[in-house]
A and B are shown apart, each in its own frame.
Chain A
């Protein structure tokens, strides 16, 4: 079964550094998402992306965050200047249709630790 893959599985960075989290969505999916899960808390929506642009974002997704689909397969999340509170598990997901209607398929996540 096709799956969403994320790299790296674990990233450690120092406060103020830039990080890029990478994802390869399922190939025939059109909608892409980033979610995060701070340790012990709920999974929170960050951003959705369709047709090469952001279609929806949460209040968490401020100017420090950006997303890009640099080629036909990768989908990236960039955090420009990391803060301690950005430490979390970041999940990429993709779906065939809009997420309200079509199930999201999640990757195994990237655990980001900011020191």
Chain B
């Protein structure tokens, strides 16, 4: 079965600084990987996804993520954080032939002035 670990519960970053949110997954074959963002009172918005091919994927709002099979990781990055990026970020893994996504526990991003 798939599983996802997001080791950081909270992260605080200064506005304009770079950001990296960690995600490690467990799955025997090539996973399908996703990052979602949840603003307060809102649903989950897809930031980016990885299915195959280029291991560096670009998403919306200037985010990117890199799939590293050797480290079972799919870390999310942004070169310069904006105050509006403050939200909860969820990494999720899916697998071919399965209906569901398995989510990590989320990382809450706080942006300081």
Contacts and interface: CB of A to CB of B under 8 A. Distances in A.
Interface string A84-115: 00000001010000111101111111000000
A70 B8 CA distance: 42
Contact of B99 (A43, A44, A55, A107): A55
Q: Which 6 A-B pairs have CB atoms at the shortest separation, nearest pair first?
A: A100-B94, A48-B99, A45-B100, A106-B44, A108-B43, A56-B99
Contact of A99 (B42, B44, B98): B98
A-side interface size class? 20 to 34
Interface in A41-89: 41-45, 48, 50, 55-56, 58
Contacts of A45: 100-102
Given A106-B43, A106-B44, A108-B43, A100 B105 contact: no
B98 A42 contact: no
B113 to A, nearest CB: 26
Interface residues of B, number: 26
Given A42-B90, A55-B99, A101-B96, 13 more contacts: A6-B43, A33-B100, A42-B106, A45-B101, A48-B100, A91-B43, A93-B44, A98-B99, A99-B100, A100-B96, A100-B98, A101-B94, A104-B44
